[in-house]
Structures are given as structure tokens and as C-alpha cells.
Amino acid sequence: MQAHDTRSAAKRTNTLTLGQTKLRSVIRGIGSYLPVNKVSNADLEKMVDTSDDWIVQRTGIRNRHIAAEGETTSMLATHAANAALANAGLTAQDIDLVIVATSSPDYTFPSTATQVQAAIGMHHGAAFDLQAVCSGFVYAITVADKFLISGSHKRALVIGAETFSRLLDWNDRTTCVLFGDGAGAVVLEAQQGTGSVQDRGVLTTHLRSDGRHREKLYVDGGPSSTKTVGHLRMQGKDVFRHAVSMVTDVMVDAFAATNTTAADLDWFVPHQANRRIIDASAEKLGIAPEKIVVTVDQHGNTSAASIPLALATAVADGRIKPGQLVMIEAMGGGFTWGSALIRW
């Protein structure tokens, strides 16, 4: 009996010792911002040959927000960043890393992240953009996590922000009805964990890309090719066909890496591109419909901003609570795709 107690104590001590060396990137605050101008499907019916019925049936989208003239991606990002800082009870002085995931930057350079850094009054640390289109937020969370768990940085602002309205061909009904503008941000903080899946924070991340799919979803301009900004072009059916298998593959990887299953999830917060892709992915993995957070109806596809916008909505309305297990995933141009399993 005594020997058993001693062994248990040793085991507990060992766990504690290991735990003292395991850093986790914990979500400490979240915020979001949508431009004031809300555009409904009925509004779009006046601009292109489309209908509310077609858009809702094919995508689930009812509204999107469009940035005002002169309102840039960094402005949306700054609103979201300030909201996340306030939610975390922190100021810009407490942050040492800013990553902005965007494919619609204010300028070719400098980065949108440095514009945000200046706007929030942060004159130290590092700031950079990350471009992985709709997978941008999952990529940025992954990169920030690597910085934080290495011990090199203490707190990161991870922002997804887009003004895709500037990349759309407003005469092309096959794309212009799908996208919107917005921004979402989280504050990630390095905290000690025990190394178990019960820890709060980012538990595992899985990123993929395959550049052979360029022509299925791309912008037909850029500084080095056409010297123009260009317009978004998409082969919608092909994107749809790949999306479900790609995002479910990386979620299966996340479950395998953490010895968890779909049944362990409290919330599934997918990239908000299309309701049918979301439902098909959840069904394939056996994720219960009541665990899915859907906001695509209210803001359309906001690319890198869509996941933090959905997360912010579900935190604000009390669905996502500390300690709960949350899966995020996305797929986008490139193709890029990825997942992150986070204990809130």
C-alpha cells in the first residue's frame, strides 16, 4: 500500500515536472469588427442577375458587410485588435508579436500588420503579414503558437482581416455574391500547461498546401505579373469538390494527434465559406449539428477573417466557454488548408 502511494506520488511529481516545461498558447481575449454597410441578397439582385433563393440555397449566405470608401483592411484589423485587447484586459504594451492574416492588404508593402502595430500604439516587438487566403487565420494561429511555445515571445495578437470587396468583379455573379469584408482578432498568451489535452490553449495544428490547384481559385493580378490588383476568379464546383475531403483530412489528423474524437468536441468553428461545405464536413466526421457555429449567413465568406468572426460571435453569445474543446479548420486558394484544436 505504502509502495503504491510512493509510486503514485512519484508519478504525480513527474507529471508536475514535465508540466513545468510545457508552454501552451492560451486564448486570452477575442474581438471582431464588421463594416457598417450591410448588403443583403436583395440588394445584390439590383446589381447582377441573381436571386435571394439561389444564393441561400447554394451557400446559406443572406448578408455581407462591405467596407466604406477609404476604409482599409488595416482599419478593420485595428478595430478587431483593440476589441481583443480590451476583452483580454491588456494594452498594446503587453503584446510582443502581431500577425495579420490577409490577402487584401492596404499596400503591396509595408505590411498591414505594421500599419496595425502603429495604429494600436505599439512601437516594440515584431509585426508581419501572413498570406494563405481563406486558411490564413489557421496558418497564423499555427505560426504564433510556434513563437509562443518556443519561449521567444509572450503574447501575440493574431488577426484575420480582409476587404475582399476590392478584389471582386462586381459584374461576375458567380463570385461577387459570395464574399464580404471584416476582421477578427485573438490575443494568444504563453502559459504553463501540463502537456495533456486537458490544458487550455492550442493543443495541435496541422497545415497543408498544394500549389498545383492555382487556377481553381486565384486573383488574376499582382505587382510582379500584371502590375495591377486583379480580380478573384474561381471554379466553384472544383473548389467545392476538394474542400470537404481536404478539411476533414486535417481534422482527422488533429484527432489522431490528441487521441480525441468528434464526440469530444464542444464546438466546431469552420471557415465560413459555404453552408453546404460546412454541413458536409461535419456530417462526414459525425460532428453533431448543434455543435457547429455558423455565421456565414450574416457576413458571407470573409476569407481569413471568417473564423475569428465566428469565434467572437460564439464567445459573445455565451456558447464558447473557458475549458471547452474547439476545432477550427479552413481551406482556401493555393490550395491551402489546415486545422487547429484549441481548448478555450
Largest CA distance in the chain: 80
Candidates 113, 127, 177, 325; binder of ligand ACO (CB under 6 A) is 177
Sort 9 into a burial class: Cβ within 10 Å, 0-12 / 13-18 / 19+.
exposed
Name which position in 116, 273, 311, 325 contacts ligand ACO (CB under 6 A): 273
> Nine-digit cell at 237?
464546383
Among 66, 133, 168, 244, binds ligand ACO (CB under 6 A): 133
Element (H, E) at 299: helix 296-299
Which residue among 134, 148, 188, 282 contacts ligand ACO (CB under 6 A)? 134
Q: Which residue has the cell 458587410?
A: 65
| Count of residues near ligand ACO by CB under 6 A | 23
- Binding test (CB under 6 A) with ligand ACO, winner from 35, 270, 333, 334: 333
Rounded CA-CA distance 187/93 in Å is 13
133 vs 144, which CB is nearer to ligand ACO?
A: 133
Kindly tell me which residue out of 35, 201, 332, 334 binds ligand ACO, with binding defined by CB under 6 A: 332
Any contact of residue 103 with ligand ACO (CB under 6 A)?
Answer: no
Tell me whether residue 57 is exposed, middle or buried, using C-beta atoms within 10 angstroms of its C-beta: 0 to 12, 13 to 18, 19 or more: exposed
Q: Which is nearer to ligand ACO, 26 or 39 (CB)?
A: 39
Of the two residues 203 and 244, which places its CB atom closer to ligand ACO in the complex?
244
Dist. CA 3–CA 225, nearest whole Å = 72
**Does residue number 217 form part of the binding site for ligand ACO (CB under 6 A)?**
yes
Q: 159 vs 232, which CB is nearer to ligand ACO?
A: 232
- Contact segment (CB under 6 A) with ligand ACO among 93-101, 187-195, 202-210, 325-333 equals 325-333
Kindly state whether residue 240 participates in binding ligand ACO, applying the rule CB under 6 A: yes
- Give just the sign of the alpha carbon dihedral 78, 305, 64, 239: positive
46 binds ligand ACO (CB under 6 A): no
Candidate list 41, 65, 82, 134, residue with the active-site label? 134
Q: Quickly tell me which residue has 483530412 as its cell.
A: 249
Spell out where 48-131 has E strands: 63-65, 97-101, 126-130
Task: List the x/- string, 291-310, binding to ligand ACO by CB under 6 A.
Answer: ----------x-x-------
Of 144, 135, 159, 132, nearest to 246 by C-alpha is 135
Q: How far is CA 208 from CA 12, 132, 219, 226, 326, in A?
A: 37, 10, 20, 28, 20
274 is catalytic: no
Contact 243, 331 (CB under 8 A): yes
Distance CA 23, CA 1 (A): 35
Binding segment for ligand ACO (CB under 6 A), chosen from 62-70, 75-83, 219-227, 331-339, is 331-339
Q: Is 209 in the site for ligand ACO (CB under 6 A)?
A: no
Catalytic residue among 65, 206, 231, 271: 271
59 binds ligand ACO (CB under 6 A): yes
Q: Determine the angle formed by the axes of helices 236-258 and 275-285, rounding to 10 degrees.
A: 40
301 is catalytic: yes
Site membership for ligand ACO, residue 250 (CB under 6 A): no
The catalytic site residues sit at 134, 271, 301
Residues lying near ligand ACO in the complex (CB under 6 A):
50, 54, 58-59, 133-134, 173-174, 177, 217, 236-237, 239-240, 243, 273-274, 277, 301, 303, 331-333
